């Protein structure tokens, strides 16, 4: 999983370079597939429950699971979330980043920053002996303090020999404390943060989620490993 994560962290840095005005979301998918193959890995999203691409490309009011298309082009001023993952020797990684397309407005920058920072607030509680729902509680508090809202209908998850494993990891505080976190567990923590209301809805394609109020959304995700001390962020190379 360390290797799958390392590849993915680097892959995201390379995908970032493709985010320019005029590029089609399909081109990003094609290049992403090639890069994953180049690492000797497999794309885990492709054919997952029929999903047609190696990467989810979600623009502006699209929250997650946007499907790349030949006739969908990125425009200056958009924000775009890229969510992808790889399999290395049977082990999965999963991570998302939200990037600006060219110059974007101040509010968009703040939305992307708060989303990323919310992830780091959350993983302070991703410690051996901790309670699972404290992660989402911290994420929600940070996001709401900054005037945005967290998506409730979609959650983070365990990850390992499958992309999605138990437990579900909400980005908000449910009733109760959740399971006790133990070292050796591997999670995908993935705050999805809306500029306006927290509600999302599915579109006609059966995959793409959009905000119910049409305002923008950002996504930031990493695969992490619970240790004796601070969690290890497997899909972020610093």
Taking the complex as a whole, how short is the minimal distance between the CB of residue 156 and Co ion, in angstroms?
Answer: 6
**Any idea what DSSP says for residue 55?**
E
Smallest CA-to-CA distance from 78 within 97, 111, 55, 102 is with 102
Indicate which single residue of 15, 36, 87, 188 sits in contact with Co ion (rule: CB under 5 A).
Answer: 188
Which span sits near Co ion by CB under 5 A: 56-64, 90-98, 106-114, 124-132? 90-98
H or E, element range at 25:
helix 25-38
- Two tokens, residue 154: 């979609």
**Any idea what DSSP says for residue 149?**
E
Is position 65 an interface residue for ligand MF3 (rule: CB under 6 A)? yes
Q: Which of residues 42-61 bind ligand MF3 (CB under 6 A)?
A: 45, 48-49, 51, 56
C-beta closer to Co ion: residue 21 or 98: 98
CA triple 217-29-66, angle to 5 deg: 30
Measured torsion, CA atoms of residues 203, 204, 205, 207, in degrees rounded to the nearest 10: 30
Radius of gyration of the chain (CA): 17
C-beta closer to Co ion: residue 86 or 188: 188
Taking the complex as a whole, how short is the minimal distance between the CB of residue 176 and ligand MF3, in angstroms?
Answer: 23
Q: Are 177 and 134 in contact (CB under 8 A)?
A: yes
Taking the complex as a whole, how short is the minimal distance between the CB of residue 11 and ligand MF3, in angstroms?
Answer: 14
Indicate which single residue of 29, 42, 94, 195 sits in contact with Co ion (rule: CB under 5 A).
Answer: 94
39 makes contact, choosing from ligand MF3, Co ion, none, with CB < 5 to 8 Å by partner type, with none
Query: What whole-number distance in Å separates Cα of residue 63 and Cα of residue 195?
Result: 11
Query: What whole-number distance in Å separates Cα of residue 152 and Cα of residue 175?
Result: 13
Compute how many residues bind ligand MF3; rule: CB under 6 A: 9
- Two tokens, residue 122: 């959350």
Is position 167 an interface residue for ligand MF3 (rule: CB under 6 A)? no
Which span sits near Co ion by CB under 5 A: 52-60, 92-100, 127-135, 227-235? 92-100
Q: Which of residues 88-117 bind ligand MF3 (CB under 6 A)?
A: 94
Site of interaction with Co ion (CB under 5 A)? 94, 188, 190
Site of interaction with ligand MF3 (CB under 6 A)? 45, 48-49, 51, 56, 65, 83, 94, 188
């Amino acid at each position: 999983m360390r290797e799958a994560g390392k590849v993915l962290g680097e892959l995201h840095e390379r995908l970032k370079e493709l985010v320019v005005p005029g590029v089609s979301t399909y081109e990003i998918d094609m290049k992403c597939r090639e890069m994953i193959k180049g690492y000797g890995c497999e794309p885990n999203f492709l054919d997952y429950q029929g999903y047609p691409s190696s990467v989810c490309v979600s623009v502006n009011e699209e929250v997650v699971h946007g499907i790349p298309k030949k006739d969908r082009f990125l425009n200056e001023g958009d924000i775009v979330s890229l969510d992808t993952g790889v399999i290395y020797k049977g082990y999965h990684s999963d991570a998302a980043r939200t990037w600006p397309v060219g110059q974007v407005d101040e509010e968009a920058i703040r939305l992307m920053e708060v989303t990323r920072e919310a992830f780091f607030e959350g993983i302070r509680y991703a410690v051996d002996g901790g309670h699972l729902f404290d992660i989402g509680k911290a994420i929600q508090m940070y996001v709401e303090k900054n005037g945005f809202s967290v998506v409730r209908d979609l959650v983070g998850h365990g990850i390992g020999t499958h992309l999605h494993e138990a437990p579900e990891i909400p980005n908000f505080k449910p009733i109760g404390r959740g399971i006790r976190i133990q070292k050796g567990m591997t999670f995908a923590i993935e705050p999805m943060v809306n500029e306006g209301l927290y509600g999302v809805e599915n579109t006609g394609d059966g995959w793409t989620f959009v905000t119910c109020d049409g305002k923008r959304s950002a996504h930031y995700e990493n695969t992490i490993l619970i240790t004796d001390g601070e969690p290890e962020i497997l899909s972020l190379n610093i």
